[in-house]
Structure 1
């Protein structure tokens, strides 16, 4: 059964161009039963959002800026999130913003047992990222491999937008494998991916230009990979270990 998710979008902080890919990404983690976007809809910079709200069944919440320099949108989103939490209608939240003001909200929702997914731009401050169970950079959602009308594969990822696999990243993967390894050093890749996410919520192989973790591990060339037969099904299980 799909988890029920409340999707709350900070309209002042997220570009409307990403909405289709964003909603497709959210669907991987559950059923977005509540979808709301917050902003002052009398402002001209939110006009582009109006065109995509109906297509994606997102409910716009009007929030006037009562005071100069204060972000009323943040307050409205936080109040709504707490109301939804106490309604017991959802299993998790997706907070879409690049604003660190939602750090405390994410922490509070997790304290209440909610799964919290954050989505924002790469400029998002670290405190908000680590306050979430998982954080997805919105830029990578645009950098997918799309199939053209003629059946050709068009790669839209630009090299400049792909993060480098640094020694720090390699050490993170290596230590995670060691944490989960059996006596022979092997660890199930699915468990490795899960622990990487807990250690670093914004860890995502797509940040480095790989759609999945397995090809990324292959490319680093510092790990051994082994496929094993799954007795319960037709899919093979992937195990990894550090090279000596």
Structure 2
């Protein structure tokens, strides 16, 4: 299954930061990218490359997201391609020493990484590129198995961002509606990727990967099937029961419900 893959994520941070510099909106949101990648599989390696003395404010969110921050001296001291070279060396080393890593996500728009993409694919690895639309090389885009525009991910998140939930519990616990909005967002993305309905058990697996503390019992449901049925009654999910297995498939999902 596509979402059972083992991933390694490499961030050419300065390339992304410069690409976003002239665009409206917040700075680079690493959690947005990680959440999308978790739909593809388990992330086992996270490295981010930059002269971090120049981006002090960006260190904390990356560190909190579990990234190893690899220090790259500024180009004035080490040459323009220092981050490129270090990323290439680390990625190829991982490719050869960790054969179970089958998908590489390269967060950059720099055409200098095109040969790396070609070599990784030559070794049978799947490569996902992620970059800012106006600063991503066409050569790099066309060399990847899949390429996502960061600005489109951010736009999609803003459009799907739930309005303040008046049913939010006063004790700080998230409401059922907010949970369904997040679950429906995951299901919608998976259905969109595959172009077909997905098994509810598979959606739960991916959702748990995003939110390890998720439990249907926490929200008062006896099981996941009961949760799905309630989600359907609220308009978040369209489900279908498989007669042979008794399990549910999710046919469509909406983040706003009824």
TM-score (norm 1): 0.60
SS of 1:117 mapped into structure 2: strand
Considering Cα pairs closer than 8 Å and 6+ residues apart, tell me whether 1 or 2 has the greater RCO.
2
Q: CA RMSD in A?
A: 3.0
**Residue 106 (structure 2) aligned to one of 76, 95, 98:** 95
**Residue of structure 2 equivalent to 1:185:** none
Structure 1 position 54, deviation (Å): 2.2
SS of 1:17 mapped into structure 2: coil
- Structure 2: give runs of 5+ residues left out of the alignment: 18-26, 168-176, 178-193, 197-239, 253-258
**Residue of structure 2 equivalent to 1:83:** 93
SS of 1:38 mapped into structure 2: strand
Inter-partner Cα distance in structure 2 for 1:126 and 1:7:
21
SS of 2:15 mapped into structure 1: coil
**Residue of structure 1 equivalent to 2:62:** 53
Contact 1:18/1:138, CA 8 A, preserved across alignment: no
**Residue of structure 2 equivalent to 1:5:** 7
What is the CA deviation profile of residues 152-186 of structure 1, one whole-angstrom value per residue up to 9, with x for unaligned ones?
99xxxxxxxxxxxxxxxxxxxxxxxxxxxxxxxxx
**Residue 52 (structure 2) aligned to one of 41, 44, 53:** 41
Inter-partner Cα distance in structure 2 for 1:115 and 1:33:
15
Inter-partner Cα distance in structure 2 for 1:118 and 1:109:
12
What is the CA deviation profile of residues 82-132 of structure 1, one whole-angstrom value per residue up to 9, with x for unaligned ones?
000001241110000011111111111011100111110002111101111
Structure 1 position 68, deviation (Å): 6.5
Kindly report structure 1 stretches of 4+ aligned residues shifted beyond 3 Å: 65-69, 228-238
- Structure 1: give runs of 5+ residues left out of the alignment: 154-187, 191-227, 239-244
Inter-partner Cα distance in structure 2 for 1:2 and 1:235:
18
Contact 1:230/1:236, CA 8 A, preserved across alignment: no
TM-score (norm 2): 0.57
Pairwise mapping of residues 154-233 of structure 1 onto structure 2 (< 5 A)? 189-190=195-196
Whether 2:118 is the aligned partner of 1:107: answer yes
Whether 2:74 is the aligned partner of 1:62: answer no
Inter-partner Cα distance in structure 2 for 1:14 and 1:101:
14
**Residue 126 (structure 1) aligned to one of 114, 126, 138:** 138
SS of 1:21 mapped into structure 2: helix
